[in-house]
Chain A
Amino acid sequence: MFKELSILAVVVAFSLLTYWLVEPFAHSQMHAHIETKHFKYTDLPAITKTGNAVAGKELVMGAGACTGCHSIETAGMPAMMPAVDAAASYGVNPPDLSTAGALYDANFLVAMIKNPAHATNLDHKYPADGSKMHPMVAFYGAGGDMDQEVADMVAYLQSIAPKAEEVTPKVAFENACGRCHSMRYKNWTPIGEKGKFKYKKDELRFDASVLDYQDYVVKYMGKLPPDLSMYYRSRGEHFLETFIEDPQSHLKGTAMPRVGVTAESAEKVVEYLRDAADPKHAEREETGKNVMIYMIFFVLFAFLWKKEIWKKLH
């Protein structure tokens, strides 16, 4: 018995050593470890003024000219044109602002309004010399104290947004990621959810619109942003979190903007990605437990059988 256990110890020790070398150790050497900054966006200046939502509404609808491009469904401002046409004009469909106040960090929104290229960490793509302009025009002030004006606009967006806890993972994903990325395992295309079609030709028309839209996005981004259906399993939770926080940290020079989500929204986005790539995780845990309970009995009976049989042999 002692001899068998010593042999087992040797076998287990060599197996674990090999496992440690090819898995945790090798992966630590292949991928740089990026620490999360907990979605604080400390490189951006913090809001100093207290915003006034009523004044903000005036600016968003008026002098700020936000609604010239953005829709705000909840404020009764629907999109002015189909997503494909908007992408033709701007490169990508500008986001509806109904949920922006809940999804995005306030300091990020301020920075975004003032200087979109800088807020999204795309200074390398849109250099300060103005040779290439971000499709969103920066806000240069409406004549008053600009910091106050921007704070007012952000306060307005927050006032019309649903409470953060009411934002579902699906809404968080579709708004923050879904205008560039598809997610076919959730029937999501960058121009919206692909529903059921009665006629094949209607489905083909929809598919053709998606392809048209994607052509514009390719022109805008340089390549087609990937379908995110399996990203939870191909990248893992930690990578996704830190990548969403700042794409440049993993992929220096990428055209993907920092989207400025709050920690809570990022969590929801990751939850949705998990739901697409690994929807059976709860069932797996449950089944695993039952199989293990069965296995304990299996081991017990196998041991008793062996003992019984070998009584006559030793």
Chain B
Amino acid sequence: MAHFTKATSVKDWLNQRLAIEKVEKVMASEYWIPKNINFLWAMGMVLAITFGLLLVSGIFLLMYYQPNVETAFDSVNYTIMQEVGYGWLWRHVHAVAASVVFLIIYIHMLTGIYYGSYKKGREMIWISGMLLFVAFSAEAFSGYMLPWGQMSYWAGMVITNLFSAGSLELNGVVEWIRGDYVPGQAFLTRFFMLHVLLVPLAILALIGVHFAALRIPHVNNQDGEDIDFDVEAKKYLAGDTKGSKVIRFANDFMSKDMFVVSIFLVFFFYLVFWNYGFAMDPVNFDPADGLKTPAHIYPEWYFLWSYEILRPFSKDVGLIAFAFAQVIFVLLPFLDRSPNVKTANKRGLFGIWFWLLVIDMIVLTAMGKLPPQGIYSTIGFVAAIGFIGLWVILPFITAIEKKV
């Protein structure tokens, strides 16, 4: 058993039992971050704060939401939005944060790709991040079912239908997932469970893994420089804070993070109070009706690019292309054959590849929402082929990349 002495202070008492000073060093004051970074490195903190907003607003919504096909719609649109004091605020915060969190995730992902932050020991950061993306997607989809509006119902119908695997016609699987032939009470209750328990648990666990994956390879920097963190940390602790290439996580890095977070929150609350339509689809303010298919069915904006990879092809080809789009980002660290950890713009063909990918995904996103007719179908088809083509050529163009 460890040796305990009479505590001289509360801090000392806790220190003997929990080693709080050591924990503080490991987690904050001697957790070293490169100095050569820009505001894009604060996206992790912005995501953590947004997740916090989702969690807190979600807890408040959970106190009044009723997962019942008869009462779900009114419990959201009447009880929460009209009767509960500031219920509307929690709902707007929850809905807008659920949409904006994906904007930040995409910025965070593209930052990682642009600066090469998935290579040379950082593969697990990337992979755990992509698993988080999958978990957030599941969370967003299951949450979208809960208000039991027209889009909830029909999105639930369309997405669960994908599991019939096209020509394999695995209708039993679809029924098993729905708990019924069509979305109904069993469907709503299980997606409620997924949304408030199982998926959030997975997200919390994955956030732990994602943070842990950062410890050994450390955070990347703007120039992909291979920093000797031990040497630089010693320099900092010796008092050469200006000369050292690293800074403390807290308060050095944190102070910059919080400034970026504050700017983000201004933008966020502007959306919450004045421009929330993009995150709360008007069609979903009609109660679910299994006999009335909406004129246009489309997912939320953050799923549109992968939806458009599914849509322009025939059933089976579309499903294969869709499955390809879902997993291909995870494989990025292995498909990129170049050892260069540098900004995309300094990597020749890869730089062109990066910007083509960004543009292609924006085109897919736009076409995914537009009705699949005429020129929009054609553009969508070309963009979907382009997306697959970009990933197919990636190993080849990076294999011939010069060492920089």
A contacts, CB < 8 Å to B: 3-4, 7-8, 11, 14-15, 17-19, 21-23, 25-26, 29-30, 184-185, 226, 229-230, 233-236, 277, 279-280, 283-285, 287-288, 291-292, 295-296, 298-299, 302-303, 305-306, 308-310, 312-314
Contact = CB atoms under 8 A, between A and B. Distances in A.
A227 to B, nearest CB: 8
Contacts of B81: 280
A18 B301 CA distance: 9
Contact of A233 (B242, B251, B274, B282): B282
A304 to B, nearest CB: 9
Interface stretch (B120-128, B188-196, B362-370): B362-370
Nearest to A27: B369
B274 A288 contact: yes
A99 B143 CA distance: 46
B258 A306 contact: yes
Given A305-B258, A306-B259, A7 B277 contact: no
Best-surrounded residue of A3, A14, A285 (most CB of chain B within 10 A)? A14
Contact of A313 (B92, B241, B265, B274): B241
Contact of B256 (A277, A284, A285, A310): A310
A309 B255 contact: yes
B269 A8 contact: no
Given A22-B366, A30-B296, A277-B285, A309 B251 contact: yes
A235 B35 CA distance: 50
Contact of B370 (A7, A17, A30, A226): A30
Contacts of A11: 40, 107
Contact of B366 (A18, A234, A235, A280): A18
A186 B156 CA distance: 30
Contacts of B107: 11
A19 B346 CA distance: 29
B259 A302 contact: yes
Contacts of A26: 366, 369-370
Interface in B248-301: 251-252, 255-256, 258-259, 261-263, 265-266, 269-270, 272-274, 277-278, 280, 282-287, 295-296, 301
Interface of B: 35, 38-40, 74, 77-78, 81-82, 86, 88-89, 92, 103, 107, 241-242, 247, 251-252, 255-256, 258-259, 261-263, 265-266, 269-270, 272-274, 277-278, 280, 282-287, 295-296, 301, 304, 358, 362, 365-366, 369-371, 376
A23 B88 contact: no
A313 B262 contact: no
Contacts, number: 129
B362 A306 contact: no
24 contacts: A18-B301, A19-B278, A22-B365, A23-B277, A26-B366, A29-B370, A30-B370, A230-B286, A233-B282, A280-B81, A280-B82, A283-B88, A284-B92, A288-B269, A288-B272, A291-B273, A292-B273, A295-B265, A296-B266, A298-B262, A305-B258, A310-B256, A313-B241, A314-B242
B279 to A, nearest CB: 10
A256 B146 CA distance: 31
A258 B180 CA distance: 41
B169 to A, nearest CB: 31
A311 B173 CA distance: 61
Pairs of residues from A and B, 8 with the lowest C-beta to C-beta distance, nearest first: A288-B273, A234-B285, A21-B366, A302-B262, A309-B255, A26-B369, A233-B285, A306-B259
A292 B268 CA distance: 10
B283 A234 contact: yes
A277 B82 CA distance: 9
Contacts of B296: 30
A19 B277 CA distance: 11
Nearest to B78: A185
Best-surrounded residue of A19, A22, A305, A306 (most CB of chain B within 10 A)? A22
A298 B277 contact: no
A89 to B, nearest CB: 29
A26 to B, nearest CB: 4
Nearest to A8: B39
Nearest to B281: A234
Given A17-B362, A23-B278, A313-B247, A284 B258 contact: no
Contact of B77 (A4, A18, A21, A230): A230
B199 to A, nearest CB: 25
Contact of A3 (B38, B259, B358): B38
Nearest to A312: B241
A236 B370 CA distance: 20
Contacts of A229: 77-78
A236 B282 contact: yes
Contacts of B40: 7, 11
Nearest to B305: A18
Contacts of A226: 286
Given A287-B89, A288-B272, A309-B252, 19 more contacts: A17-B362, A21-B366, A22-B278, A30-B370, A185-B78, A230-B77, A233-B280, A233-B282, A234-B284, A235-B282, A285-B273, A291-B269, A295-B265, A296-B266, A303-B259, A303-B262, A305-B255, A308-B255, A313-B247
